[in-house]
Amino acid sequence: MRDEGNKAGEVFAELDDPNLRDALRDFRSSVHTWSDATYSAARTAQAPRAIAWRRTLAWALSLAISAGALSGAVYERHHQQMLADQQHQRELQLEHQQQVAAQQQHARESEDLLAKIDSDVAREVPSAMEPLAQMMTDDSGVR
């Protein structure tokens, strides 16, 4: 806080114990020497190393997060695509089943209609032929 010339006197002069005074002066000098020696090194070598280490960590973290997000997105897209494909397949299958059922139904109805026509044709006789048909039935017992 003060210039170097005043420093030695003011703060330490109030200490009446010479042993304590010497110790605190030595301590002050030691800390100043250490700080002066490491200050420039800390700015040129150690600080960039610390920053580089942090940057590397930040890069690694951001890379890991990006990779995670990307793989998550790819997986999600793949999963959605797979579900869509499965849904489409199910719809196609259902449609096919419906078509087959409709065809079968149509075929059944056609067969029923034909059978009914056959039956009607076999059983019913034109009205003009009805007496003759009765006679044939009656005569069948005679024969």
Partner 1 sequence: MTMQAATELADAEFSQVVTTHRPQIFRFLLASTRDVDQAETLTQECFLKAHRNWGGFRGESSVLTWLMRIAINLQKDQWRNRRLQFWRTTRTNGVDVDEASAWLPSGESSPEQQLLARERVGDVWRALEKLSGRQKSIFLLRYVEEMDIAEIVQATGLSEGTVKAHLSRALGRVRQQLGGRA
**Closest by alpha carbon to 134, among 122, 125, 16, 143?**
125
Q: Which amino acid, one-letter code, is at 92?
A: L
With binding defined as CB under 8 A, does residue 20 bind partner 1?
yes
Cα end-to-end distance, the chain, whole Å? 150
Max Cα separation, the chain? 163
The DSSP call for residue 14 is: T
Site residues for partner 1, 43-72, by CB under 8 A, read 43, 46-47, 50
With binding defined as CB under 8 A, does residue 89 bind partner 1?
no
Task: Name the one range near partner 1 by CB under 8 A: 34-42, 64-72, 81-89, 117-125.
Answer: 34-42
Question: In terms of CB distance, is 17 or 138 closer to partner 1?
Answer: 17
**Site for partner 1, rule CB under 8 A:** 1-2, 7, 10-12, 15, 17, 19-20, 22-24, 26-39, 41-43, 46-47, 50
